[in-house]
Copies of this chain bind each other. A is one copy, B any other.
Amino acid sequence: MNVLQEMLAAHPQPAANNEGLGEAARHLAACSQVCTSCADACLAEPMVADLRHCIRLNLDCADVCAATSHVVVRQTQTDPTLVQALLNACLTACRLCADECSRHANMHEHCRVCADHCRRCVEVCEALLEALPSG
């Protein structure tokens, strides 16, 4: 068990799906870091002027993943309406970032790693959306 899974298992009203949720939250939090790092690496590239769109999407994705990772980790009286809307936004941010990063993945290893991690987060968001109680 990772530390977030331990935390979720210790909640007074534990979720049905602690392990999946803990793993998902861990990926989303890591994605915020990965995108922050990719924006920073792009900024240091000699061809930074060609990486503007990438940096913009990295920064947005970092913000949205950070917020989403906090919201999904909370288990006290969750409202699925907000979780659903936010996961949709997060999935969109991760998909846009993955698409843009993969355009220069051949040239920049940091963009390849970032694209891969964002794609995995799209799947994480999709799995969490499917597991939501249907409204």
Residues of A within 8 A of B (CB): 3-4, 6-8, 10-13, 25-26, 29-30, 32-34, 36-41, 43-46, 48-49, 52-53, 55-57, 59-60, 62-64, 66-67, 69-71, 73-79, 81-82, 85-86, 88-89, 92-93, 96, 108-110, 113-114, 117
Contacts and interface: CB of A to CB of B under 8 A. Distances in A.
A64 to B, nearest CB: 5
Number of chain copies forming the complex: 4
Nearest to A14: B41
A115 to B, nearest CB: 12
State the majority secondary structure of interface residues on A.
helix
Given A30-B3, A113-B10, A114-B7, A43 B25 contact: no
